[in-house]
Homo-oligomer: A and B are copies of this chain.
Amino acid sequence: MRIEIICTGDEVLTGKIVNTNFAHISQKLEDVGLDVQWGTTVGDDRDTLLRAFLLASERADAVIVNGGLGPTVDDLSQEVAAQAAGVELLLDETWLARMEDFFRRRSRVMPPNNRKQAMLPSTAERLDNPIGTACGFALDIGKARFFFTPGVPRELRRMLDEQVIPRLLARSGLQTAIFLKRFHSYGLGESHVDALLAGVDALVPDGSVKLGFRAHYPQLETKLTVRGKDMDEVRRKLGPVEQEIRRRLGNFILGEDDQTLEGVVLAELARQHGTLAIVETFTSGQIAARIGPLPGAESVFRRGVESRDLAGVCAGVGLDGRAAGEVTPELAEAVARAVLRPTGATHGLAVLVDLDEGPDRIELGGTICLAIATAHDVASRRSRILGGREWVRLGAVELGLDCLRRYLQGRPVVERIDFEKT
């Protein structure tokens, strides 16, 4: 099935907004085994929109149009869709009532120009938008089925999942039960994981399990798309493959599906009735910034201290007498221990970075010494990362969080990662 995406709107065309909707739609379709062949971006201009719709209708089987469903005069999607399909616009009484109710529940009166959002092409099939006033719809233009979706990202995302993708799958003739399983890891590069996992998809010999990757340094996402005639079959196929992936990637898996590294750390601390204090240098508090905003962090995260220099960090945890010389694992251990008493935290994490001298460049590296301390125990690790200031910073943040995750889960804190030089 040939699929195209048309993104509309002056804000997107002029680059005032970076078009994240396009990437979102395209990735979501890929996750269910559908490919996008062509993308078009046009502004809020009647003639250009019409031309874009007609061109796509000649090339594609299905077209997803994003944007232009709002109440203002420059929102033209319904009107141009009707023109392209050669049909009239009609008032959709059901949607009008929905909108009036939407405003009533917010103790507001519907402005008259919102009425425009209930004018749909006469041949349109309504696509529900439970969280906004922009009404989605589908209709045929030429030989292609068009799906019109709102530009507001959270409305688009929901409509895509609930309305558009099921219809596309039904039209594509693909088996309808599909499941996307995801594993998140830190410390192994994409080609390394690819090699480690060679052949796992062949555990299901009918080709219905597909392995893929999405790298967003420093993490790597391993994706497993599984198809079947129903969810029971999907689960049956998935079981042995996910077991094998867990076995092969072992300690490197930091989370699955919607889990995040910081979320796993926080949940593990909460489960152990633990509390956390963090000391950081050079990272500008980015480790604390990953934990602090999470719901529930208020009862776990006690305090963060950050400083650009070692002397400042030592002073900040009451180690004033300490000669702040070289960064060492021993110093990190002392700092992680020292932060426990004043904060009353059960766990202290210290991440100390010694950045190379000189201007920023790709060969610039940093030495990272980190430690995790509790009242009765301490663990530490030294690592060296190259790649410039920002790369070292990102690496230090991720390594710090991941070592804490490993410690809390009883896994080895020291295990070689692909990104370090030794």
Contacts and interface: CB of A to CB of B under 8 A. Distances in A.
A9 to B, nearest CB: 11
How many copies of this chain are found per oligomer? 2
A35 to B, nearest CB: 8
A308 B315 contact: no
Contacts of A48: 37-38
A36 interface: yes
Interface string A3-20: 001010000011111111
Contact of A41 (B18, B35, B38, B298): B38
Interface in A262-312: 282, 284-286, 288-289, 291-293, 297-298, 301-309, 312
A291 B307 CA distance: 11
Interface stretch (A23-31, A92-100, A236-244, A414-422): A23-31
Given A19-B19, A316-B303, A393 B293 contact: yes
Interface residues of A, number: 57
A218 to B, nearest CB: 17
A41 B21 CA distance: 13
Nearest to A41: B39
A336 B327 CA distance: 30
Interface string A348-370: 00000000000000000000000
A252 interface: no
A40 interface: yes
Contact of A312 (B291, B303, B309): B303
Nearest to A344: B315
Interface of A: 5, 7, 13-20, 22-27, 30, 35-43, 48, 52, 55, 214, 282, 284-286, 288-289, 291-293, 297-298, 301-309, 312, 315-316, 342-343, 389, 393
